[in-house]
Structures are given as C-alpha cells and as structure tokens.
C-alpha cells in the first residue's frame, strides 16, 4: 500500500497561523542596558496588552521561507506578458526607479519651503511642459492622483468655464465605447449622462451626435482610441459638431500610449483631457496606488486649473495661490511626486524619437497578434486596430467555452489572462494589449497558446471548461464565492 505523501509547503503553502508553534521566535534582542520600566505604569493599562491574541509564533527561517515561497507564486511584469487590454501593463524601466530613489528626491518633505524645493519644482515644471508638448495642449496640472480623479477634475473645469459664461448646462454625452469610470465621473460632477451608441465599426455615430448636441450639452467624454481599440476617425467632425454649440470635447487619454509621437489631441480639437502616467509613461501600475492623472487643457481653461500653480519669478519657482477662477484643490499637495519623477525619467530617457518608436512598437505588436489570432477568434469590429485588439468568443461560446473559460485555460500555459468580458459592448470580449514591451518570441508563444486553446475547444471543450489544471488551487465555484464569501480566517480545529 502506497502511503499518501503530505505535500511540501512549496506546493501548498500554509498560513503563518497554521505553522505557528508556541515559544518560537524570529528575533533576538540584547539584554537591556538601561533600567526597565513597567509598561502599564508608563503607558497606562488602556494602552498596553500582555500579548496579541492568535499572533503567529515562528522562527526566522520559517518566516523567510514562507514569504519567499509566496513570492514565487506571484505573476508579475518582470516574469512575463500581461496582455490586459485597456490597462497597458508595460515593463517599468529600472532607470526610473534609480532616479526616483535619489536622496534629494526620495526624502524631500512636502512641507519644505519653496526656497528648499526648487529642484523638485523644476522637475514638476519640466514634466508639465513635456506633457503639454506631447498632447498639443497649452497647460497641464499634475495635481490629480489618478486617472479617475483626472476625469473628475476635467469635468469640473468644463463646469467652471460654462458657469463663467452664465450656463453650466445639464448633460454630458458618453459613448458606449468609453471607459467605465466616465459615467460615474459625469454624475459626480453634477451632470446627467446621455449615452451615444457606436456605429458598426465601433466608432461614434456622428449623425446621432449631431442630433443630440444642443444648448443643454456641456461636453462629450470621448475615449480615443476607444475601448475597442479603434481610433475615432471622425474626430475632427466630432470636435466641430460640439464647438458649433459651445460644448467642449473631453478626451479620456487612458489610451494615449497609442498616439504619443504620432498625433496630438490638441491638434484635432480636444479642449481638455487627462492622462494615466502608468499606462503611457511606465510608472508603477496597480496595488491601489499611488497614481497620477494629469489634466491638460487649452488656454481658455487654464485660469480654472486647480490651485496652486507653479509660477516662475526672478527668485525662482514659487506656488501661486492668487487664482480667483480656480476650481480649488482636488487633493493635498501637488500630485504624487515619486510617480512624477518616474514619468519624467521615462520621457527623458526615450526622447521624442524614442517615444514615437515605442508607440509604433505597441501598434505593431497589437496588429501582429491580431493577424496571428484572427483565424481562430472573431475580431469584434472590422476596423484597424491600434494598441489593442478585441475579439469576441462567439465561435468558442457556441462550443460551450466562453471567454472566461479560455482565460482560465491560458493560465495553464503560463500566461496572465487577457481582459475578460470587457468592453461591455462586445459580447464575450477577449481584449488583448501586448504593449511595446514584448518581443516577437513572447508574442509567438502567447499566440501559440491561444491557438492551442481554440483547437482544444473544437476537439474537447470540457478540457477547457475545467481549467485551470496546473494551479495550486483548482477552479473555484464563482457563484458560491460571490454568494457566500469567507472573509475572516478561522483557526483550524
């Protein structure tokens, strides 16, 4: 009889609580060389406790091995391709980190006086100027801490400008191909959402737009390229339709990584836009922050930008608070400075030609994958792809394997899944963005995996439906997890 072998922790890592053993200790402290104090007498009974209930007791080697083993389970951009469409999960160059860790930058305090912050203010001003040049806009604020906050700031600027003319208006138009945060931003800015359906090519229907734009419309929030990876070819006409009724064109610049060095939104009629520095300029992405969502505007909106604004004087840089038309602050201090340093390092390391090459590589990689996969998966819209390509699971779902099952099977091949079931206007969407980071070898491996999965679905769809097979945790019951989540750890009995 073969004895059942207990799996080693490298295969099934327990919690620290589960390997805890009373009396184990992961540290040693020298004997006190000063008189000891009674903590209760010193701090008060209400501020002390004799022990932390259920606190794990482990040795140093136990703790080190535990966290090292967990780290090997992580999927990261340093490990492989992140094909998440609409997220631009590109590699973060180490030069960015080296610059951001410079002592004078890493340890600067936000309350330092202007006289001792001239270097940081020069960096901030240089980044603002670079982003203004890249976008074709006239002024930039770096204050918003994330893309969604940048959207909110942009619409507050629209509202402030229209109010200065005597009518803030009631509605903001949002195409169905916009990012999901756009409608929420519209509501937060005090406007009503009016939706515009896309045409058969995944673009804004300009005839429908012209019918909808009236004196109650404040702006159109347009993602360009949009969330189906298509450039709005009628962008010039869209701008003219809006401007004819004194409405503004807001551009969600989350996909600006498809345009840098090739086209500038300010040149095709955009009045205000935000950028996501993590998407376009390779600052760290995910984990809840910190982020950065700069807002760029045309000259007529500059007086309304959040205060303070950088101002150059004979004595150097200073913060200008004398801005009576400003919408006020949108966050404490002036942006997440470490993120701003990293973005400027990326821009300066590439230069204008390098940024353009990165954009062209992103476009090439996406279209290369599209060409490899369109024989197995149906492309959502018959329009040129930009930095990402969006397929539909129509063919695979007919065999019983929808996009979610394909994504889980992809894990068995060693890849992080693509964006599943988004954008919502594409039923069963497979949204893939390789970014400029990836080599042809990596793209070929990814395409081979996707083609293999398509063939598996044709021959044995149950194999895909039961995936993933090689992960430490088997496929979960998603319905049960949603209805009966276990949110608190319970010690084993």
**Does this model's pTM top 0.75?**
yes
- Mapped to the 3 state alphabet, what secondary structure does 94-141 carry? HHHHHHHCCHHHHCCCCCCCHHHCHHHHHHHHHHHHHHHHHHCCCEEE
- Match domain 94-349 to its CATH number in 3.10.330.10, 1.10.10.10, 2.60.40.1120, 3.40.640.10: 3.40.640.10
From first to last of the 493 residues of the chain, give the pLDDT tens digit: 555 555 566 667 888 888 899 888 888 888 889 988 898 999 999 999 888 888 899 999 999 999 998 888 888 888 899 999 988 899 999 999 999 999 999 999 989 999 999 999 999 999 999 999 999 999 999 999 999 999 999 999 999 999 999 999 999 999 998 888 999 999 999 999 999 988 999 999 999 999 999 999 999 999 999 999 999 999 999 999 999 999 999 999 999 999 999 999 999 999 999 999 999 999 988 666 689 999 999 999 999 999 999 999 999 999 999 999 999 999 988 889 999 999 999 999 999 999 999 999 999 999 999 999 999 999 999 999 999 999 999 999 999 999 999 999 999 999 999 999 999 899 999 999 999 999 999 999 999 999 999 999 999 999 999 999 988 888 888 888 889 888 876 665 5
Domain positions in the chain: 16-73, 94-349, 355-481
Same fold, 94-349 and 355-481: no
| Architecture in CATH of 355-481 | Alpha-Beta Complex (3.90)
């Amino acid at each position: 009889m073969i004895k059942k072998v207990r799996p080693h922790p490298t295969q099934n890592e327990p919690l620290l609580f589960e390997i805890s053993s009373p009396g184990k200790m992961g540290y040693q402290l020298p004997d006190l060389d000063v008189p000891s104090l009674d903590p209760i007498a010193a701090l008060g009974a209400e501020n002390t406790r004799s022990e932390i209930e259920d606190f794990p007791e482990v040795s140093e080697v136990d703790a080190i091995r535990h966290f090292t083993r967990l780290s090997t389970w992580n999927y990261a951009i340093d490990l492989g391709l992140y094909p998440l469409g609409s997220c631009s999960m590109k590699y973060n160059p180490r030069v960015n980190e080296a610059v951001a860790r410079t002592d004078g930058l890493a340890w600067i305090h936000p309350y330092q006086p202007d006289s001792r912050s001239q270097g940081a203010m020069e960096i901030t001003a240089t980044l603002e100027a670079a982003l203004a040049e890249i976008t074709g806009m006239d002024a930039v604020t770096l204050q918003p801490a994330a893309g969604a906050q940048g959207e909110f700031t942009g619409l507050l600027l629209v509202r402030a400008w229209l109010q200065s003319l005597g009518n803030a208006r009631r509605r903001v138009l949002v195409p169905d191909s916009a990012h999901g945060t756009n409608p929420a931003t519209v509501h937060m800015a005090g406007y009503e959402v009016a939706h515009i359906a896309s045409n058969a090519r995944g673009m804004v229907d300009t005839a429908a737009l012209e019918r909808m734009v009236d004196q109650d419309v404040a702006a159109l929030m347009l993602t360009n390229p949009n969330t189906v990876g298509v450039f709005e070819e009628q962008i010039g006409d869209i701008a003219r339709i809006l401007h004819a009724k004194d409405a503004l064109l807001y551009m969600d610049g989350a996909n600006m990584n498809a345009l840098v060095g090739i086209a500038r939104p300010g040149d095709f009629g955009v009045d205000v836009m935000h950028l996501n520095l993590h998407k376009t300029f390779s600052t760290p992405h995910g984990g809840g922050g910190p982020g950065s969502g700069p807002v760029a505007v045309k000259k007529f909106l500059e007086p309304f930008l959040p205060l303070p604004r950088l101002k150059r004087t004979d004595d150097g840089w200073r913060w200008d608070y004398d801005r009576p038309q400003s919408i006020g602050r949108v966050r404490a201090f002036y942006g997440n400075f470490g993120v701003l340093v990293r973005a400027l390092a990326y821009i300066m390391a590439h230069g204008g030609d390098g940024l353009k090459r990165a954009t062209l590589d992103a476009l090439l990689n996406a279209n290369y994958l599209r060409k490899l996969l369109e024989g197995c998966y149906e492309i959502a819209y018959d329009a040129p792809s930009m930095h990402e390509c969006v397929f539909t699971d129509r063919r695979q779902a007919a065999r019983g394997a929808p996009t979610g099952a394909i994504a889980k099977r992809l894990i068995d091949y060693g890849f992080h899944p693509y964006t599943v079931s988004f954008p919502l206007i594409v039923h069963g969407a497979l949204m893939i963005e390789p970014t400029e980071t990836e080599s042809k070898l990596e793209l070929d491996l990814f395409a081979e995996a996707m083609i293999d999965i398509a063939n598996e679905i044709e021959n044995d769809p149950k194999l895909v439906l039961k995936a993933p097979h090689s992960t430490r945790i088997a496929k979960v019951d998603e319905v049960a997890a949603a209805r009966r989540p276990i949110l608190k750890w319970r010690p084993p009995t």
